Amino acid sequence: MRGRSEAERWDMLPRMATKAKDAVRPLASNRRARHEYQVLETFEAGIQLAGTEVKSAREGRVQLKDSYVEFKDGQAFLVGAHISPYSHGNRENKEPERVRRLLLKKREIDRLFGRTQLKGLTVVPLSLYLKGNWVKVEIALVQGKKLYDKREAEKTRELDREAEAAVKSNQW
């Protein structure tokens, strides 16, 4: 090793398999929330889970349909999210639809709570994903859409789809 530069010494070391620390792997999404509500602002929150719940979530056995965020005693809780019991867990399994605490900064909790109280908005989870080794929830401050808003959004999607098909087939 004598007489070699620092870079050459590092090049001689065996390469370790490296995973990107911030690699995001989606586990579940709440597609209905994007249809039912107009998303005003999104936040990333950690979620407090038991060990078997993490294992079950890694298998993708999570459902966010009809779930929402509730505020109590200066804390945020995810209510109605279903994480199926882990197949190899026995007494360590928790209830599938128990209330789970969200890990947010105090300022974010106060801001979300204030907006829900004053303007009649609500907070719903949009997706659950792995970021590195941590399970995260993307939550959003949302406002309910009216029926005509939903029709308008569907109409624009359909027009975009038709335009894309016409461009693909070169018929314009």
Element spanning 113, H or E: helix 106-119
C-alpha span between 17 and 6 (Å, rounded): 21
> Does the pLDDT at position 123 exceed 80?
yes
Reported as a single tens digit per residue, the pLDDT across 34-81 is: 888 888 989 999 998 888 888 888 888 888 888 889 999 989 999 988
86-120 tens-digit pLDDT: 777 677 677 777 898 999 999 999 999 988 888 87
Chain position carrying tokens 């969200």: 102
Q: Which CATH architecture has domain 20-163?
A: Beta Barrel (2.40)
Cα–Cα distance, 104 to 107 (Å, whole number): 8
Cα 80 to Cα 87: distance, rounded to the nearest angstrom: 21
Q: With the CA atoms of 162, 40, 82 and 44 taken in that order, what torsion angle do they form, in degrees rounded to the nearest 10?
A: 110
**Residue 162: C-alpha distances to residues 152, 159, 172 (Å):** 15, 5, 11
Q: How far apart are alpha carbons 168 and 28 in whole angstroms?
A: 31
The whole-number pLDDT of residue 120 equals: 76
pTM: 0.71
What local confidence, expressed as pLDDT, does residue 153 receive?
Answer: 82
Position 62 scores a pLDDT of 86
